[in-house]
């Protein structure tokens, strides 16, 4: 088959490319790996998050036959958010597959497909990295773009106040480990998160991804190490360098495996409630193409556009159209090693 015919084959059709990129096996980021965000495709390019007040009150007793206490009706509010559009592009040149064939085969199609899939994989990795960046922003309440600009400040969007930072004073407390200071502060965090959820939802666990310096200090803190030394779990803490996580006071601390822009501040941790339905969501919009319009959005899309002659190159485009947010940002508490 000639190269021109290869470029006009189903190998570069939108359906085939989209299927190929969604089937790519790439290492997930930590947040994707945890499955923290509930994923769903949408047929629109924006979503409305509806919030309804759920504050409970104590109903006072009344004389029998007296007037009952009237209940206030909590109004509903709708917050409309546009789903970010994140495209990437690469180019497949005819010269790239000149004199190239797949290993152990003389079939020209296999060589072209291999080069196509390599480029799709590279774009997919970049989009995976971007989605992890957005998810990491969601657990901090601030979703940023690649240039550092703000896509969404969730506290502003939902009209709530960002919780005060919890200062664990990890360096100052080294002199004294009596009294379980850290354990007490962790209990306060759990209590405050429960209150922020209006006591209506149980939390299966609390996960605390950490920056490098924070994890080093807390995993070596005397209060924690002395507690563990008296327990069978001491071995887990002694070997925390291998798995970079441990549980203390009902909170699982984990060194977040970040790199480059996708990382947490080194002297902080984030407290993330686990197992709360609808707390963290991912919503995917369809691609802005006629073939995808009004269909249910997929995590990835890919298409190919040949040059005007159809002989020299094909432009490959891959994209994700995903919104990753926390729907109740008032639960997003930050832990710091010490007051600045």
Look at residues 184, 340, 204, 170 and name the one whose alpha carbon lies nearest to residue 272. 204
Mean per-residue pLDDT for 258-280? 93
Rounded to whole angstroms, the Cα distance separating 45 from 40 reads 13
- Res 126 pLDDT > 70: yes
Of all residues in the chain, what percent carry a pLDDT higher than 70?
76
**How distant is the alpha carbon of residue 179 from its chain centre?**
36
Residue 325: strand pairing partners: 281
pTM: 0.85
Q: How far is CA 193 from CA 203, 244, 287, 334, in A?
A: 9, 25, 37, 12
pLDDT tens column, 4-58: 566 666 677 778 788 878 876 655 689 999 999 999 999 999 998 877 654 444 5
- Res 305 pLDDT > 80: yes
Rounded to whole angstroms, the Cα distance separating 91 from 89 reads 7
pLDDT tens column, 141-176: 999 999 999 999 999 999 999 999 999 888 765 545
Alpha carbons within 13 angstroms on the beta-carbon side of residue 92 total 29
What single-letter DSSP state applies at residue 259?
B
Could you state, in order of their start, the residue ranges of all structural domains in the chain? 3-50+81-150+280-320, 162-277+328-336
Rounded to whole angstroms, the Cα distance separating 297 from 308 reads 30
**Sign of the CA dihedral with 18 first, then 22, 26, and 31 last:** positive
Alpha carbons within 13 angstroms on the beta-carbon side of residue 277 total 3
Is residue 314 within 8 Å of residue 147, measured between CB atoms?
no
- Res 103 pLDDT > 60: no
Supply the pLDDT for residue 55.
47
pLDDT tens column, 264-274: 999 999 999 99
Of all residues in the chain, what percent carry a pLDDT higher than 90?
50
Mean per-residue pLDDT for 93-118? 69
- Res 210 pLDDT > 80: yes
Residue 87 has phi, psi (to 5 degrees) of -100, 150
Rounded to whole angstroms, the Cα distance separating 52 from 76 reads 5
Supply the pLDDT for residue 56.
46
Kindly report the length of the chain. Answer: 340
């Amino acid at each position: 088959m000639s190269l021109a015919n290869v470029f006009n084959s189903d190998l570069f059709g939108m359906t085939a490319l989209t299927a190929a990129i969604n089937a790519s096996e790439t290492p997930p980021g930590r947040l994707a790996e945890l499955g923290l965000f509930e994923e769903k495709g949408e047929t629109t390019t924006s979503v409305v998050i509806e919030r309804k007040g759920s504050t409970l009150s104590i109903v006072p007793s009344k004389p029998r036959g007296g007037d009952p206490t009237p209940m206030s009706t909590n109004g509903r509010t709708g917050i409309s958010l546009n789903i970010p559009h994140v495209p990437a592009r690469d180019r497949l040149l005819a010269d790239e597959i000149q004199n190239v064939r797949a290993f152990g085969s003389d079939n020209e199609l296999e060589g072209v497909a291999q080069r196509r899939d390599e480029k799709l994989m590279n774009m997919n990795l970049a989009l995976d990295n971007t989605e992890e960046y957005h998810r990491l922003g969601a657990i901090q309440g601030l979703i940023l773009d690649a240039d550092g600009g703000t896509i969404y400040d969730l506290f502003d969007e939902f009209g709530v106040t960002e919780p005060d930072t919890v200062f664990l004073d990890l360096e100052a407390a080294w002199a004294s480990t009596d009294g379980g200071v850290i354990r007490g502060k962790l209990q306060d965090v759990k209590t405050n998160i429960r209150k922020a959820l209006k006591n209506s939802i149980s939390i299966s666990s609390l996960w605390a991804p950490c920056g490098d310096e924070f994890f080093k200090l807390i995993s070596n803190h005397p209060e924690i190490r002395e507690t563990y030394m008296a327990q069978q779990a001491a071995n887990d803490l002694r070997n925390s360098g291998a798995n970079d996580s441990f549980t203390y006071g009902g909170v699982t601390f984990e060194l977040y495996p970040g790199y480059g822009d996708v990382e947490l501040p080194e002297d902080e941790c984030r407290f993330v409630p686990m197992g709360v339905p609808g707390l963290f969501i991912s919503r995917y919009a369809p691609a802005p193409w006629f073939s995808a319009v009004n269909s249910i959005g997929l995590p990835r899309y890919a298409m190919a556009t040949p040059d005007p002659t159809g002989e020299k190159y094909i432009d490959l485009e891959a994209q994700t159209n995903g919104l990753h947010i926390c729907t109740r940002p008032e639960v997003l508490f930050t832990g710091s090693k010490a007051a600045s």
